[in-house]
Amino acid sequence: MNPKKRIYIADDETNIRLAIKKFLENTGFAVEDFENGDLLMAAFLKSQADLVILDVMMPGSNGFVICKELRKISRVPVIMLTARDSDLDYATGLDLGSDDYLTKPFSPMALIMKIKALFRRMEFDRQIYAERDLLTNVYNKTSGIEIAENELNVSDEKSLHALFVIDLDNFKGVNDNLGHIVGDKVLVEAAKTISGIFREADIISRFGGDEFVIFATHISDMSFVEEKAVKLCNELRKSYSDGDNVQNISASVGIACFPVHGLTYDELFKHADKALYKIKKQGKDGFAVYSNKHTEVSHGKEKD
């Protein structure tokens, strides 16, 4: 059984505060009420709530002050209450980090709807954060593998999929010579470039560091593979500078295809990684398709 969501309320108007508390408790929430914001803040520092409701005008620290303090330590959703129907109050609350606003008097049902909407949004955000790389917003390693494996589990040998493993060449030099801020910029731009090359249905993930993996599903033929690989190499070949130092970036790409190079994700990744290693040994900045006959294809030209 899921624990009840806990809500803190701060409002110096006792009748309003207790009425809200009773209604929320009857709806199934656990509620603690406080007659001012300072008491709520003290309680929150000891034990965080799932949502906070703050009256704007209270003795001591008003709702705006408490909201600002909460935002220094927590992403907890905050709903502001006010007796003044003022656009300035509304804008101030949002600017300080509140999530929603209600003007007194208001319907208890309107408050419930806002609370439920905020909890739904939080759950959606949690799911997104759980499956996405926070820097580049592509899938993270775990999600990328899981989605690809699910697709492979329902694929027969008439299907054709391709797994691309990409390393950004000389990326360490960017961090060492230009700094990690520029390094993060390179990764974000690389993710956008890769996303622009592939289709919406293809699974793009960052495996950590400068390594990206793409699982391209239901491709038509091997010409698709070569076309995408050439674009990856051409569009990821860039230079970055801080005014004094210049760092050149390129991409090494290894590719393996289902079903000819493997029937499982582990097999495909192992073989794509071998093809990638071959490119790295040959001087980087190119692509290779794994072959059971140990023949690689680099930039469309066969190399034994």
230 with 102, same domain?
no
Please tell me the predicted confidence (pLDDT) of residue 304: 37
204 with 125, same domain?
no
Task: Write out the residue range of the structural domain in which residue 94 sits.
Answer: 6-130
179 with 295, same domain?
yes
Rounded to whole angstroms, the Cα distance separating 283 from 170 reads 11
* Mean pLDDT, range 101-126, rounded to an integer: 85
65 with 42, same domain?
yes
237 with 276, same domain?
yes
169 with 101, same domain?
no
pLDDT exceeds cutoff 90 at 275: yes
CATH number at residue 216: 3.30.70.270
250 with 101, same domain?
no
194-249 confidence digits (pLDDT tens): 999 999 889 999 998 999 999 999 998 999 999 999 999 999 999 998 888 899 99
Q: Pick the last residue of a domain from 111, 130, 149.
A: 130
User: How many independent structural domains does the chain possess?
Assistant: 2
- Which one, of 189, 190, 140, lies nearest residue 167 by Cα? 190
101 found inside a domain: yes
Q: Helix or strand or coil: residue 279?
A: helix
34 with 167, same domain?
no
- Give the β-pairing of 246-258 and 161-169: antiparallel
pTM: 0.61
71 with 202, same domain?
no
289 with 149, same domain?
yes
CATH number at residue 90: 3.40.50.2300
- Which one, of 285, 254, 281, 287, lies nearest residue 269 by Cα? 254
CA angle at 162 for the pair 159 and 166, rounded to the nearest 5°: 170
1 found inside a domain: no
66 found inside a domain: yes
54 with 157, same domain?
no
